A and B are shown apart, each in its own frame.
Chain A
Amino acid sequence: MRNQTVKAAVLVAGALLLAACGTNKTESGGATSGNGGSCDQSKGTLIIGVIAPQSGGLSALGLGIKNSAQLAADQANEKCAVKGYKLAVQTEDDQATAQVGAQAATRLSSNANVVGVVGTLNSSVAQSVQPILKNKSIVQVSPANTNPSLTRGADYGTAPKRQFDNYFRVCATDDNQGPYAAKYLVGKAGKKNIAIITDGKTYGEGLAAEFKKQAEKDGAKIAATAKVGERDTDFSTVIGTITGSQPDAVYYGGEYPQAGPLSKQMKDAGLNIPVMGGDGIYDPKFIELGGKEGDLATSVGAPTETLDTAKAFVDAYKAKAFKDDFSAYGAFSYDAANSIIGALAKTVEGGDWSDSKRADLIKNVQAYSGQGATGEIKFDEYGDSTNKLLTVYKVSGGKWVADETGTYSG
């Protein structure tokens, strides 16, 4: 039966070839550009690591993070932002699990040319990555970890205490975004009987818990709470359980792949009330997947259309023609990478990069200040972003339209 073997071999070779062809297409953008023409890059290459899911179910978000960091590095190379060095991005897949994330972090941390890391997507992966990078004093800026305890410890509300001096983040934490959403939904929109649905994951659970605290404080009744499965697509049961309590709005803690269909199925079931969520659902895909008119989302920073830096980012990203969208956390990743690049430029000014500069780099990231795609990028004493500006967006005419911008204050 030799012919089977031959056929199998041909098949595999074909598959490999196809697979490989794909690589070429996606990688060429990063590989060819960025020699920056006339820049002095004589001192070698410094690497910005990215740790995010590149394969499997969460790869849409992870690929957006990777591409946006790549964009930041390419732009820095064109502008000769870091004197004497070329910047490169090395992406490591964490498969959205802690132990693979730890391996990815170790791999990056054992490379002397890695100056900083952009990542992770998941808070639980961050928990295993933090100590490893801390051991090597490598700065980490997360575009997407929203769990407040990562920076301020388990008692973040009452007794905040900095956990890792090398860890920063540019996104809003749950205890900022959740209450702001509650104020809007209860106060401005006047919803008093709210149902909460979560997806059981760190991001959604944390956000919804903070939302709930504030909403109850503001006098709203939590009509019902329910949970959808992480990969569920049929939400009729969940909708059935909340219909009885006749809520006038739903707050969803989770991301757009579930939120969009959920909103659509609610409407189909005759429950035509707005769905509100965090930055995890602020994505055009939410509307494509069934998000309906009047649905709400909060996101960090001033409205995209009023921010020139945001528009510039979107245009630059589109010009690069990446295969994947920048997705929910692309702009944050771009800002995170830029904060590392900016601090790095300052650190190596008039000197060479060496291991002993790592502490300086961390200090410089701490002191960094710049205008990013999501607004002003600066870090407070815990490593959180000082940009507490949040915007509520509303689906209107098939698009997200900014509705209100403000900050959450107690």
Chain B
Amino acid sequence: MSQLKDVLKPGLARPLAVGGGVLAVIAALLPWVTYKFAQYGGDNYPAAASLQFFDAPFQLEGYRLHTLILGVVVVVVALAPVPARHRVLRALGWGLVAVGVINTVFAAVEGGGLGAVTAADGAIAFGGFACVVAGVLAILAGIAGGIEHVHVWRAKVATPVAYLVLLVSFVVLLLLVAMMLNAGGQGGVGNPYAGPIFLSLLGFLAGALGALHGVGLTGWISKLSDQHKVFSVAVLVLCALALPFTEAGTDYWMTTAANIGIYAATAIGLNIVVGLAGLLDLGYVAFLGIGAFVAANFSGAAAAAFGVELPFVLAAIIAAVVAGIFGAIVGSPTLRVRGDYLAIVTLAFGEIFKKAAQNNIGGLTGGANAIPNVPPINWFGQSFDKSLTIGSLELPSGVLYYVLIIVLVALVMVVFANLKNARIGRAWIAIREDEDAARAMGIKTGQAKILAFLIGATLAGLAGAVFAHKTSTVAYDSFQFIESVTLLAAVILGGMGSIPGAVLGAALLLVLPEKLREFSDYRLMLFGLALILIMRFRPQGLVPDRHRRAELADEGAEGVPIEELNVHDTPGGSTAVAR
């Protein structure tokens, strides 16, 4: 590809960018599809598909609005003095490409061929293609100018200002999340565009965030939140609790969000084992299962092994303790077994758990019949699966589980953060980096490793107790290998050892399949592709841990932290080789 570099002289950057930007604006105004989608009741393809802009400029919405915004910003960035200009241009370009490709492909396929997006029946529609070309131009402009490093803002601000900035950015984040969850509505038969609308919005947001990251804004905010940790955590929890009041406050999203929370709490537990102590665990979902089965057995369900109904809190504590004990048992081979060999020991444990549960071991798991009809949690006469009415405000059902889960996740986060910065946390990190050296420094590695398993499993057991009541049935097939993999993927996607990472990873892995329901048959495949792509472009995870960032920095070229090096920019290929 050196030829491309030779052709793209730095001087070309500005003209290319301006051209791309203008073309994007034109694309936003061009029609994107040639005809109305009759089978969907004569709807226009999501947004108005004509040159309507000129008679009603403010009706521009959806992907057309996104294209317009991106285009205008590209032009502005090209002409105005902006830090890390070419990096920003490239990010914006990718956003344009994503929006263009997603909408073009969907329209072409649903419209029955290329005619739907080019020219047919006397109508022309090259909007999508123009958008993609515009994006490519912007990317080329970025490359021609040379990609700079991410700009770093060194501005120090007074505490009140910092608080304000954090507050605003978290609220914006909340609104973005709500908007994303609700993008395209809930989908279904009356609303066939929900899938592409969501993906297109995702593409737009990715481009915009990439640009903000390049400018250094996100880095600055994350630095601020590091400086004011307590405040940010409090605001974040408040924001999370505010989600039911936004447009995402529906039964469906509350249920999904509560499930995300359960997986997030479990993923944070796994993060201790994998992210901090560096012990690969491929059977972790077993601890969630143990917690769930214990809680179900103490729930008073008809099929429970014990005829007692313990209060939820007590049952949850017992679940956590039992899971923790099993954690210590599973962790004990770590005294001798290391690395990937340990991984298979944990995998083996996961399979043993599943088989035992399937065969109704000791009459505790209900075997193939599962433990059905676990009653919902009921506090102060309010059943958790019913909707909640406060004054005149009716909140969706599932909101109480959501709140409970938020509290649980917050609790688990606090435990994690404290452990990480404590003596034991440093011991874990030392073990992860070099076990022999850690032992030489006087760390009792065996103890520390078993403790990692024990604490991780305890947290998972706690989450399992909520799982049992929330799902109302506990069956062995909820705890298969693929769930362990999902949890591990959540930790690695989010960034190993990072708390927000684990939550973000879990959220992504559960929200994506839900939003991809539109593609029914294809959703698992798209999920697999997403895993590959995310790892391909951001192997260190979406929110790498700060320690980890520092550690990785040494490995990057020329002292640049590795997260700033996009992988495809590193001299890989012929020179880079395995460890």
Give the interface of A toward B (CB within 8 A).
1-5, 8, 12-13, 15-17, 19-24, 26, 31-32, 45, 47, 54-56, 59, 88-93, 96-99, 102-103, 106-107, 109-111, 113, 122-124, 127-128, 131-132, 135, 147, 149, 153-154, 163, 200-202, 204-206, 227
In the complex, what residues of B have CB within 8 A of residue A96's CB?
A: 477
CA distance A148 to B373 in the complex (A): 14
Residue of B nearest to A25 (CB): B109
Residues 314-364 (chain B) with a chain A CB within 8 angstroms: 358-359
Is there contact, CB below 8 Å, between A128 and B471?
A: yes
Smallest Cβ distance from B137 to chain A, in angstroms?
15
B109: which of A12, A24, A31, A127 is its contact (CB, 8 Å)?
Answer: A24
- Flag whether B126 is at the interface (Cβ < 8 A): no
Give the interface of B toward A (CB within 8 A).
1, 4, 39-40, 101, 105-106, 108-110, 112, 143, 186, 188-190, 250-252, 255-256, 259, 302-303, 358-359, 367-370, 372-373, 376, 385-386, 396-398, 467, 470-475, 477-478, 480, 514, 517, 519-526, 529, 533, 536, 568-573
Is there contact, CB below 8 Å, between A5 and B568?
A: yes
CA distance A340 to B525 in the complex (A): 33
Contact A32/B372 with A93-B520, A98-B473, A127-B472 known, Cβ cut-off 8 Å: no
In the complex, what residues of A have CB within 8 A of residue B188's CB?
A: 47, 90, 107, 111
Is there contact, CB below 8 Å, between B105 and A202?
A: no
Task: List 28 interface pairs A-B (beta carbons < 8 Å), by A numbering.
Answer: A1-B571, A1-B572, A2-B1, A3-B1, A5-B568, A17-B109, A19-B522, A20-B105, A23-B109, A24-B110, A47-B190, A54-B520, A54-B521, A90-B188, A96-B477, A99-B478, A102-B255, A103-B252, A103-B514, A107-B514, A124-B473, A127-B373, A131-B472, A135-B397, A154-B303, A200-B358, A200-B368, A206-B369
Which 8 residue pairs are nearest across A and B when measured between Cβ atoms? A127-B473, A124-B475, A20-B109, A127-B372, A205-B368, A88-B189, A110-B251, A106-B255
Contact A205/B189 with A19-B526, A98-B473 known, Cβ cut-off 8 Å: no
Residue of A nearest to B254 (CB): A106
Residue of A nearest to B536 (CB): A8
CA distance A22 to B109 in the complex (A): 9
In addition to A55-B524, A135-B386, 8 A-B residue pairs with Cβ atoms within 8 Å of each other are A17-B109, A47-B190, A55-B522, A102-B471, A103-B259, A106-B252, A163-B373, A202-B369
Is there contact, CB below 8 Å, between B524 and A90?
A: no
Contact A47/B189 with A24-B112, A55-B523 known, Cβ cut-off 8 Å: yes
B372: which of A111, A132, A149 is its contact (CB, 8 Å)?
Answer: A149
In the complex, what residues of A have CB within 8 A of residue B110's CB?
A: 24
Residue of B nearest to A198 (CB): B368
CA distance A4 to B573 in the complex (A): 9
Is there contact, CB below 8 Å, between A92 and B517?
A: yes
Smallest Cβ distance from A385 to chain B, in angstroms?
21
Is there contact, CB below 8 Å, between A1 and B370?
A: no
Residue of A nearest to B196 (CB): A20
Is there contact, CB below 8 Å, between B302 and A153?
A: yes
B522: which of A23, A98, A154, A206 is its contact (CB, 8 Å)?
Answer: A23
In the complex, what residues of B have CB within 8 A of residue A15's CB?
A: 529
Instruction: Count A/B pairs, Cβ under 8 Å.
Output: 165
CA distance A89 to B529 in the complex (A): 28
CA distance A22 to B525 in the complex (A): 13
CA distance A40 to B467 in the complex (A): 46
Is there contact, CB below 8 Å, between A1 and B189?
A: no
In the complex, what residues of B have CB within 8 A of residue A92's CB?
A: 517
In the complex, what residues of A have CB within 8 A of residue B514's CB?
A: 103, 107
In the complex, what residues of A have CB within 8 A of residue B106's CB?
A: 20
Residue of A nearest to B189 (CB): A88
Is there contact, CB below 8 Å, between A31 and B303?
A: no
Is there contact, CB below 8 Å, between B520 and A1?
A: no
In the complex, what residues of A have CB within 8 A of residue B477's CB?
A: 96-98, 122, 124
In the complex, what residues of A have CB within 8 A of residue B478's CB?
A: 97-99, 124
CA distance A103 to B303 in the complex (A): 24
In the complex, what residues of A have CB within 8 A of residue B368's CB?
A: 200-202, 204-206
Smallest Cβ distance from B197 to chain A, in angstroms?
15
Is there contact, CB below 8 Å, between B517 and A106?
A: no
Is there contact, CB below 8 Å, between B521 and A147?
A: no
Residue of B nearest to A122 (CB): B477
CA distance A147 to B259 in the complex (A): 26
In the complex, what residues of A have CB within 8 A of residue B370's CB?
A: 98, 124, 127, 202
B367: which of A1, A113, A205 is its contact (CB, 8 Å)?
Answer: A205
In the complex, what residues of B have CB within 8 A of residue A154's CB?
A: 302-303
In the complex, what residues of A have CB within 8 A of residue B302's CB?
A: 153-154
CA distance A91 to B187 in the complex (A): 11
Which of A123, A124, A135, A206 has most chain B Cβ within 10 Å? A124
CA distance A31 to B110 in the complex (A): 10
A106: which of B251, B473, B523 is its contact (CB, 8 Å)?
Answer: B251
Contact A131/B385 with A97-B478, A154-B302 known, Cβ cut-off 8 Å: yes
